[in-house]
A and B are shown apart, each in its own frame.
Chain A
Amino acid sequence: MTASIVETVNVVKILGSGASRVEALKGVSLGVSGGELTMLMGPSGSGKTTLLSILGCIMSPTRGTVQVRGRSTQGLDAEELAEIRRKNIGFVFQSYHLFPTLTAAENVRLVFDVRGERSRRTKAKANEALATVGLAHKTKAFPIELSGGEQQRVAIARAIAGDAAAILADEPTAALDSENGHAIMSLLAEIAEDPKRGVLVVTHDPRILPFADRIVRIEDGRIVGEQQKGAPARAGSEVEHAIRAQRR
């Protein structure tokens, strides 16, 4: 494990205003480090997705700081945040968010295209990324021609093709059966073996906990528990409950 690639420090996020004002995050500090697969767990409305959005520089915190490779994102405008995302962060979404009119290879090439990289090398890189996720034979397939698991693999290829240091995955197995979910988590765990890459997975799914190097439990906008791989879970902790639930 190395220093954090992306890190939040005492982040507070207030959503809405007036009667609908919600304090989604209440001073959360969390880092995504290289060579580590972190799982962020918690019930609906606990602030998981908000935290993922802030770590991914999609949303800015109300208070607190976000650092990407040691650089604070405070005061950056939307275009500067987009630049940080395209250089450092790869996303995997629950519903894949592939472009239906583009082939698998073109979907992956998009990460290069938005960077202005349009050489032949990018085509090769996109195909390599698809080969990494086991879809070398589906480069010309459109999303509609792929199964859910295959679509999610294309999304992972898209996230890793551009050498993003942090891969942020939002419920990547939620729409998949257990076999495909397992395959997807194996891929993400493999990616996290690279010391230059860190993976954060937001999940509800206790079945995928064995893939985690670290499990972080968030509830009501606060981190309430954390456990490293191999370390015993504190008795009675939320993490222990989750692991127990998985074992059952």
Chain B
Amino acid sequence: MSLIFTLAARNLFHDRLRFIATLIGIVFSMILVTVQMGLYLGFGRMVTTMIDHAGADLWIMPLGTKCFEDSSSLDDSKRFRALSMKGVADAVPIVIGFAPWKMPGGGTSPVFLIGSNLRSGGLRPWNVVAGSIEALEIPGAIAVDRSYLDRLGVSGLGATAEIRDQKVEVRALTRGIRSFTTTPYLFAPLERARAYTGMGPNRESYILVRVAPNADVESVRRRLQSNIADVEVLTPAEFRARSRSFWLFGTGAGAGLFAGALLGIIVGTVIVAQTLYASTKDHLNEFATLRAIGSSGRYIYKVIISQAVLSAVIGFCIAAAVGLLIVRTTAETALPIMLTPVMTVALFALAVVMCVLSAVGAIAKVMRIDPAMVFTR
């Protein structure tokens, strides 16, 4: 084995205080980037959670809809028009909207209702942990996430409250259907949801289209778009992209998260560069000796870069462990921090690139080294 790695490792571990400072810089930077990018991913996933679970091939929505929560309403005649189109197997209405929830103990809280025909499987609650979807057919039945029970002032299954002066009863509890807006999601059958949100009887927010087997989704989309006035027809991927774009960039939240991540990278790079430069300066005599005994410049750069990469690997491992802990801690919150395998690999690559870039200053210092200094020191 080459002594390059041995020399790099021992140079690093020789000055433990400096090495700890380097690691703190990398860990701090990586955690900051992980949290920011994890929030970005989590936020991106949260804003599209309803689209992800709808199981539609196409979404018909009012013109100018910016995101899932933003819809106005469509006339039900458009749904019949869609059903008459070639290649459309089903067209399911969805109603969404805010409504006032009157708590049994007094006080009100806004809720966000999602209504669909539960038999046709439009947008039904998932992760049901208590009660059942079938129970929602009972008049006044609603499904709510268990994490919102306290917030809504109810104890659990069978608890009652009022929405728009109409009695409702909790008949199903879900897990993990959280809203990033902090307004609880409530599921109800279509007609009840219309009543709770104050929407007219023949109106809906979205029409979910299922394309017939063997039909081309894009052709159906074009057909729907050209035959139904004042609507937009989007694929789930397009609707996801639009929702993410609105929430992440339209509101500036995404830019803020990216700015935080960038700050983390800059801080990390500066700290690592400083410590690596100082370490190189301390070992300048040794590098001059290496040069005097005939080492190539490349050999010395490899020692410095190995130091940087080794710091990156150790720093990343610590940061990843802390990051996983944060991910677990926030998993059940309204805005979970997510860490995907791709992001983990990307963060590792970022840590290595950051540390190698940090080595540039140290390498520049070594490039100017005069091996003759070994005779004067």
Binding site for B on A (CB under 8 A): 49, 52-53, 56, 58-59, 78-79, 82-87, 89-91, 93-95, 97, 99-102, 106, 109-111, 113-115, 118, 158, 170
Q: How far is the CA of A97 from the CA of B10 in the complex (A)?
A: 16
Do A97 and B374 touch (CB < 8 A)?
Answer: yes
Q: Which residue of B lies closest to A112 (CB)?
A: B3
B357-377 with Cβ < 8 A to chain A: 371-372, 374-377
Select one of A59, A83, A102, A106 contacting B294, CB under 8 A.
A83
Do A118 and B377 touch (CB < 8 A)?
Answer: no
Q: A78-B297, A114-B290 are in contact. Are A97 and B6 (CB under 8 A)?
A: no
**Most B CB atoms within 10 A — which of A91, A94, A100, A113?**
A113
Q: A101-B11, A102-B3, A118-B1 are in contact. Are A110 and B293 (CB under 8 A)?
A: yes
B2 contacts partner chain A, Cβ-Cβ < 8 Å: yes
Q: A52-B375, A97-B374, A114-B299 are in contact. Are A82 and B291 (CB under 8 A)?
A: yes
Interface pairs (29), CB distance under 8 Å: A49-B375, A49-B376, A52-B375, A53-B372, A79-B296, A79-B297, A82-B294, A85-B293, A86-B293, A87-B294, A90-B293, A93-B289, A93-B374, A97-B285, A97-B286, A99-B7, A99-B286, A99-B289, A102-B7, A102-B10, A106-B3, A110-B3, A110-B290, A110-B293, A113-B4, A113-B299, A114-B294, A114-B296, A170-B375
Q: How far is the CA of A160 from the CA of B192 in the complex (A)?
A: 93
Interface string of B88-109 (1 = CB under 8 A from A): 0000000000000000000000
B1-29 with Cβ < 8 A to chain A: 1-4, 6-7, 10-11, 14
Q: Which residues of B contact A58 (CB under 8 A)?
A: 292, 371-372, 374-375
**Most B CB atoms within 10 A — which of A89, A99, A109, A158?**
A99
Do B6 and A102 touch (CB < 8 A)?
Answer: yes
Task: Kindly provide the distance from the CB of B4 to the nearest chain A CB, expressed in whole angstroms.
Answer: 7
Q: How far is the CA of A97 from the CA of B296 in the complex (A)?
A: 18
Q: How far is the CA of A53 from the CA of B372 in the complex (A)?
A: 7
Q: Which residues of A contact B181 (CB under 8 A)?
A: none
Q: Which residues of B contact A90 (CB under 8 A)?
A: 293
B295 contacts partner chain A, Cβ-Cβ < 8 Å: yes
Select one of B2, B291, B297, B375 contacting A113, CB under 8 A.
B2
Task: Kindly provide the distance from the CB of A29 to the nearest chain B CB, expressed in whole angstroms.
Answer: 21
Select one of A91, A95, A113, A158 contacting B377, CB under 8 A.
A95
Q: Which residues of B contact A85 (CB under 8 A)?
A: 292-294
Q: Which residue of A lies closest to B371 (CB)?
A: A58
Q: Which residue of A lies closest to B14 (CB)?
A: A101
**Most A CB atoms within 10 A — which of B289, B295, B375?**
B375
Q: A53-B375, A106-B3, A170-B375 are in contact. Are A114 and B292 (CB under 8 A)?
A: no
Q: How far is the CA of A22 from the CA of B356 in the complex (A)?
A: 41
Q: How far is the CA of A155 from the CA of B110 in the complex (A)?
A: 80
Do B374 and A91 touch (CB < 8 A)?
Answer: yes
Task: Kindly provide the distance from the CB of B340 to the nearest chain A CB, expressed in whole angstroms.
Answer: 39
Task: Kindly provide the distance from the CB of A197 to the nearest chain B CB, expressed in whole angstroms.
Answer: 17
Closest 6 CB pairs of A and B: A86-B294, A101-B10, A85-B294, A114-B295, A97-B289, A113-B3
Q: Which residues of B contact A83 (CB under 8 A)?
A: 294, 296
Q: Which residues of A contact B2 (CB under 8 A)?
A: 113, 118
Do A111 and B374 touch (CB < 8 A)?
Answer: no
Q: How far is the CA of A26 from the CA of B126 in the complex (A)?
A: 92
Task: Kindly provide the distance from the CB of A16 to the nearest chain B CB, expressed in whole angstroms.
Answer: 13
Q: How far is the CA of A145 from the CA of B295 in the complex (A)?
A: 26
Q: Which residues of A contact B297 (CB under 8 A)?
A: 78-79, 82
Q: A97-B285, A97-B374, A102-B3 are in contact. Are A82 and B295 (CB under 8 A)?
A: yes
Q: How far is the CA of A99 from the CA of B372 in the complex (A)?
A: 17
Q: Which residues of A contact B371 (CB under 8 A)?
A: 58
Q: Which residue of A lies closest to B13 (CB)?
A: A101
Do A114 and B7 touch (CB < 8 A)?
Answer: no
Q: Which residues of B contact A97 (CB under 8 A)?
A: 285-286, 289, 292, 374
Select one of B10, B285, B293 contacting A111, CB under 8 A.
B293
Sample of 13 further A-B pairs with CB below 8 A, known A83-B294, A106-B3: A53-B372, A56-B292, A58-B372, A82-B297, A84-B294, A94-B375, A95-B377, A97-B289, A99-B286, A99-B289, A109-B3, A114-B299, A115-B294
Q: Which residue of B lies closest to A115 (CB)?
A: B294
Q: Which residues of B contact A86 (CB under 8 A)?
A: 293-295
Q: How far is the CA of A56 from the CA of B3 in the complex (A)?
A: 24
Q: How far is the CA of A36 from the CA of B14 in the complex (A)?
A: 41
Q: Which residues of A contact B299 (CB under 8 A)?
A: 113-114
Q: How far is the CA of A210 from the CA of B230 in the complex (A)?
A: 107
Q: Which residues of A contact B4 (CB under 8 A)?
A: 113
Q: Which residue of A lies closest to B10 (CB)?
A: A101
Q: How far is the CA of A86 from the CA of B291 in the complex (A)?
A: 9
Q: Which residues of A contact B291 (CB under 8 A)?
A: 82
Q: Which residues of A contact B294 (CB under 8 A)?
A: 82-87, 89, 111, 114-115
Task: Kindly provide the distance from the CB of B143 to the nearest chain A CB, expressed in whole angstroms.
Answer: 65
Q: Which residue of B lies closest to A84 (CB)?
A: B294
